[in-house]
Structure 1
């Protein structure tokens, strides 16, 4: 039998973590880091912008709703990336919430409200959004975006 077998290896994954106080001045830092990592991962400029917008929403929610703007509480942002895509986890130190109680922003009574679309936007911009929240245990939002092969 001729030929050779190539060993398939899992892609090398890199990670970066940020830990910031619950202040809105850190939102732009998270956006900038996210956009930079998205471009390094191989996403185009427009996709990098949408990914950074999803992270912006998650960080704002962590600061405002999770940590209640308590600067003693941290927002942890963890990035994992490889040639397949980018995964971002945003964690707060808040009291958690019941996801089933989040109003649908598309319901007629919510359409004109100026807030309440963060989770909706995250789901629109990313391939996967997972949210874990428990009373007293804070909330973790995991956002994932896969790299799609470019069209010829």
Structure 2
């Protein structure tokens, strides 16, 4: 099991370092390219949301990230210093009336690539879980 924590003060070099550390741990556990892509994409989106929407790009605020990588799953916790939000209040970007609205797609994106996406009250902490697919075994005849 690989566990690491970061405190990110900006949405640049520190975030890239945390992402690189996570992806290195994921690759070392033998996760394939499609898994790495899914995890990277969801992490980028969650971090972007934390800095932009949670902390409102305030350089005095930090984003905390902790991840645990083992052979079965990757768990990523991201917490910002914002007030939080109700994820149910975000308009569904796939609905006809929201198709041209440029925001709201991040949550859908994270949910499509991760096994579980959970926002914890008051909404300033998200847990991303990626379950590794187990190899299929042939059944005897």
* TM-score between both structures, scaled by the size of structure 1: 0.81
1:100 Cα offset (Å): 1.9
Deviations 1:38-61 (A, max 9, x none): 212321012101111101110000
- Aligned to 1:144, which of 117, 129, 135? 129
| Structure 2 residue 87 is matched with structure 1 residue 102 | no
* Structure 1 residue 30, shift from structure 2 partner: 3.6
SS in 1 for 2:101: coil
Whole-Å Cα distance in 2 between the matches of residues 40 and 103 of structure 1? 38
> Is the deviation greater in 21-30 or in 93-102?
21-30
CA positional deviation for 1:34? 2.8
Distance in 2 (CA, whole Å) between partners of 1:105 and 1:33 is 32
* 1:29 shift after superposition: 3.2
Q: CA RMSD in A?
A: 1.8
Alpha-carbon contact 1:89-1:140 (below 8 Å) kept: yes
Counterpart secondary structure, 1:49 = helix
Structure 2: stretches of 5+ with no match in the other structure? none
* Deviation sequence 1:4-44 (CA, Å, 0-9, x none): xxxxxxxxx33101111143454433432332222123210
- Aligned with residue 89 of structure 1, among 77, 86, 95: 77
Structure 1's unaligned 5+ residue stretches are 1-12
Aligned residues: 137
Matching residue within 88, 112, 115 for 1:127: 115
After the TM superposition, which parts of structure 1 deviate over 6 Å for at least 4 consecutive aligned residues? none
TM-score, scaled relative to structure 2: 0.87
Query: Which of structures 1 and 2 has the bigger CA Rg?
Result: 1
